[in-house]
Amino acid sequence: MKNREIADLFMRMGTLLEIKEENVFKVKAYYKAAENISALAEDIEDIRRENRLSEIPGVGKTLEEKIIEYLDTGKVSAYAKLTAEIPETLLAMMDIPSVGPKKAKLFFEKLNIKSVKELAQAIEAGRLEGLEGIKEKTIENIRHGIRLVKESHLRMNIGVATAVAEEFVDTLKALPEVKEIAVAGSLRRMQETIRDIDILVDSSNPAKVMDVFVHLPAVKTINAHGETKSSILTQENVQVDLRVVDPKSFGAALLYFTGSKNFNVKLRQLAIKKNMKVNEYGIFSIKGDKEKLVARETEERCFKALDLPYVPPELREDFGETEIFSGEPIPELIEPKDIKGDLHVHSTWSDGQHTISQMAQAAQERGYRYLAVSDHSQRLKVAGGVSPGDLIRKKKEIDLLNTKLKSFRVLFGSEVEIDSDGNLDYNEAILERFDFVIAAIHSGFEQSKEQLTNRLIRACQNKHVHAIAHPTGRHIGKRDPYEIDFKEVCKAAVDTNTFLEINSFPIRLDLDSANIYFARSMGVKFVINSDSHAMEHLEVIKFGVGLARRGWLRAEDVLNTRSLKELEKALSS
């Protein structure tokens, strides 16, 4: 499928046109077409063969011609013409927080800066100083943004890592020579960002498996090709390591290679106290200079040999270790099947790609019992914030849809902006009409710690607010969390019975696992949402559940594990 290639091409063209300061409607047309093409469930080549390209929302005659040109030639002449005027390398500069189209154009025209590397060099040489609109704080923000971008290239978010890992696992497990296969490392622990991917295999023919692995289409470079271990780089420069282990020691190897490093150290320290040894081959008792194998087949047996309960992979981190090694039972953690609905999704009423009806259908197919369509409020115009007049029409659409649904309900929700003083975007009369209100900060990140904290606390204190969306505001690879007094926010959430969101979208993953663990200790309750902007996004809820498990949450700690009746009671209290 070339859907993604064409969507990426149109997104790049839109960005270059924006830098060029072309007509805003022309720019938006490319962006909208890119969004809709990326959301297609069908192969765009099949759509072309059936002469249905014009049926794709946002694709008019001009864009249709460009799609056909790309499918026929792999190129678009208009893009080549654009990049002759505006260097394609400026697109990478746009990934830097604080560098938008206007600044990219300014740096290019005034200083002939065409890349991130040249921008970094210009900053160190003091060349940005004195440019119109560029202040000392701006330069510092750009310097910090460059560092974030460089770090993001070293690690990928869990969504990207999962997609890569699944592609390799699905291919390898289809081989008759593969008896068992599992992902290990930080991805198995559901860490928010991943450096590389580790896969373990039990095979009767390791050489055959390794040969298939290193010659898969996704492989760009072979770093190592051995009989029991190989390492490759994918076309996107993701490192994937494959190990074939002794089937009798699969459990011990999985335990060892899952980590974390600190957790493995703690296991070894515990083993030493018990005159035992832990490694990738098993658990051994030691008497004098003799060793005796105690367990190795499964992780459960390995933990039992150390007198420990089974520790889920998500808990094998630095925090929570006191509880793990206390001898007390580990709580039954939340699981994906516990989620009964999603309370933060977007529709075409704001910046979503699918209608309320389509989002509801997708939610039902997942087995959900309810869905809150929480579109952006009026202030966030860049995301198509919903005006009070449109809210009335949206509510009518939801009410009509609910009359047709059985054993499922669409809730009238809103992601309401918190302004710079902590006020909400809609008045009290409008807010009280919503079934679910999740308040959010999308601007003013440069405010002081005290101001940002106060904004969140004031939102919690509003009687109509049920939850706080992505509470720390981080955007992985682009923006660090804004600075707040998280303890005070947690206190306010507990005092006002406001839920803190665990935003599952891979570029957010906010709250992170450490904050969840801390907030849990403060008595905070949570809601896990996908923040979906398309039907296919609903599946990212699994990442939020993974974060919740890393933070030691049980199903009862999370609002949307409740039945519809229980949910309505909680929201009305």
pLDDT tens readout for residues 290-330: 999 999 999 999 999 999 999 999 999 877 878 888 878 89
Q: Which two tokens stand for residue 323?
A: 């509880």
Average pLDDT in the 417-440 region? 96
Range name among 154-158, 402-406, 516-520 with the lowest pLDDT average: 154-158
pTM of the model: 0.80
CB 466 within 8 A of CB 497: no
Q: Indicate whether 154 pLDDT > 70.
A: no
Collapsing DSSP states into helix, strand and coil, what is residue 291?
strand
Convert the pLDDT of each residue in 447-463 to its tens digit: 999 999 999 999 999 99
CA distance 210 to 242: 8
Which whole-number Å values give the CA distances from 465 to 487, 503, 544, in the listed order? 19, 17, 21
Residue 19's pLDDT is what? 86
Domains located in the chain, CATH noted: 3-154 (1.10.150.110), 156-244 (3.30.460.10), 250-324 (3.30.210.10), 336-572 (3.20.20.140)
Kindly state the average pLDDT of the residues 345-360.
94
pLDDT higher than threshold 90 for residue 520: yes
pLDDT on residue 477: 77
> What's the angle, vertex CA 237, arms to CA 235 and CA 243, rounded to 5?
95
pLDDT at 237: 82
Round to whole Å and give the CA distance between 336 and 339: 6
Residue 97 has pLDDT above 80, yes or no: no
The β-bridge relationship of strands 239-244 and 276-279 is: unpaired
Q: Are 267 and 306 in contact (CB under 8 A)?
A: yes
407 compared with 236, residue with greater pLDDT: 407
What is the C-alpha to C-alpha distance for residues 343 and 345, in angstroms, rounded to an integer? 6
Q: What is the mean pLDDT of residues 37-64?
A: 86
Q: Strand order in 467-468's β-sheet? A: 341-345, 370-376, 409-417, 436-440, 467-468, 499-503, 526-529
How much is the pLDDT for 167? 93
Q: Is the pLDDT score of 421 beyond 70?
A: yes
Angle at 386 between CA 380 and CA 392, to 5 degrees: 160
Residue 91 has pLDDT above 90, yes or no: no
- Encoded tokens for 436: 């679910």
Mean pLDDT calculated for residue range 63-77: 91
Q: What is the mean pLDDT of the chain?
A: 91
Span 141-157, average pLDDT: 76
What is the enclosing helix (H) or strand (E) of 468? strand 467-468
pLDDT at 245 over 60: yes
d(CA 474, CA 387): 27
Of 314, 290, 294, 315, the C-alpha closest to 304 is: 294
- SS3 annotation, 202-214: EECCHHHHHHHHH
Query: Residue 22: what pLDDT?
Result: 84
